[in-house]
Amino acid sequence: MAQSTQPTTAACLALSKVYVPVPRTSAAPPPALSSPTRYTGFSDSQGGGPMVKEQLEAIWENRWCGIVLSGCVTILCACLFYRVPAPGVSVAIMGGAAALMAARTKATGTEKATWMIIISCLLVIEVVAIRNERNEQAREQSEFIAQQREAFSNIGRGIESSIRQSGEHFSTTMSNLHTLIDSSNSISQHSKEAVYQITGGDAFSVVDISGEAKGFGVVMEGNYPLYDLHIEMYGYQDKLERHEAIPTLSAHVYSPLFPYDLSPYTELNYFITSSARNGVWWETLQLRKVAGIWNQAIKVEQPVLGPHYTVKRGQPLKTRVRYQWVSPAYPLTNGDVKWCKFMFDKPSSESNPCIPDLGKR
């Protein structure tokens, strides 16, 4: 019994292999993880990017920056007051000044008031520039109208001189013809009719627009044909100058002269001179478009010439109205037609529908 309670040497060795304590050794702490590096652009060694930005913001927000900017714009405004630019320049500068004022978020009240005064000055400069441009345009238009009026007056005086010369020749011819007729009692009525058939008698021509308003035509008023008919047309609005020659125009026959496009206009005025074997006459043709339809006013005048009438230089011609016709829808002034005046010896203060008045500006 005593031997069974004592452990054997082999059992002790087996137990020593199960657990053997290992001595602890001090280990070095694990290396700390490095914090992630943040990219901030340029480092201080490369130029100090964040520091430059802060310095620029500080300079921009400084009150002296506002003083310099407003001073420069004020000097520019003074130069524009001295020499007003074309319209639009002040508006562009005004936009730049407004942008600078908006960008200066920390501007003082005095600086903001200065910017508002500058913008107001630029607005005044723009208004003055617009007014100067309008005055210049009005002056140029006045000069152009004056030149046109002078040129048309010269044309009228030249036409009047030609009519006077033709009238003198016709007066001499008709005087000799009437003397021949009156002194010969043996000439019968048939002979007289034959003379009128050759000369045209008291017939005259009338120029008007065709029925469809696609051109101009001529009709003879009288009982005898016209020979060697010459027609000259002068238009004010469309600057028309036309010469037509008709060898023979029979009585009461409408003859087309030439096609003409009237659609671009609403008002036209023409001075027409005609001459034939039996004399000269002139016509005033005024066209007005009303409700899309052309209406016309026609007046034919002839100088009063005879054996006892002498044409003198500087003396206005005595005329008589041979023919007058006005469309029913033609616009009237105080119940009457306002006729054009193409010939005058001296400037007239009366208004003329063919030559626009300059008026007061």
The pTM assigned to this predicted structure is 0.47
Give the gyration radius of the chain's Cα atoms: 52
**Cβ pair 62, 69 in contact under 8 A:** no
Question: What per-residue confidence (pLDDT) applies to 29?
Answer: 56
Question: What per-residue confidence (pLDDT) applies to 350?
Answer: 57
Domain locations along the chain: 51-132, 187-326
Nearest CA among 271, 283, 293, 165 for reference residue 220: 283
Is domain 187-326 in CATH 4.10.860, yes or no? Answer: no
Question: What per-residue confidence (pLDDT) applies to 102?
Answer: 73
**Cβ pair 96, 119 in contact under 8 A:** no
**Cβ pair 90, 126 in contact under 8 A:** yes
Q: Tell me 278's DSSP state.
A: T
Question: What per-residue confidence (pLDDT) applies to 68?
Answer: 81
Mean pLDDT by 10 residues, the chain (361 residues): 46 46 52 46 51 76 77 83 79 80 72 81 85 87 87 82 81 78 65 79 90 85 90 90 91 87 91 92 93 93 68 67 93 89 57 53 33
**Cβ pair 316, 331 in contact under 8 A:** no
Question: What per-residue confidence (pLDDT) applies to 216?
Answer: 94
Question: What per-residue confidence (pLDDT) applies to 361?
Answer: 33
Q: Tell me 225's DSSP state.
A: -
What values do phi and psi take at 287, rounded to 5?
-115, 135
Question: What per-residue confidence (pLDDT) applies to 270?
Answer: 93
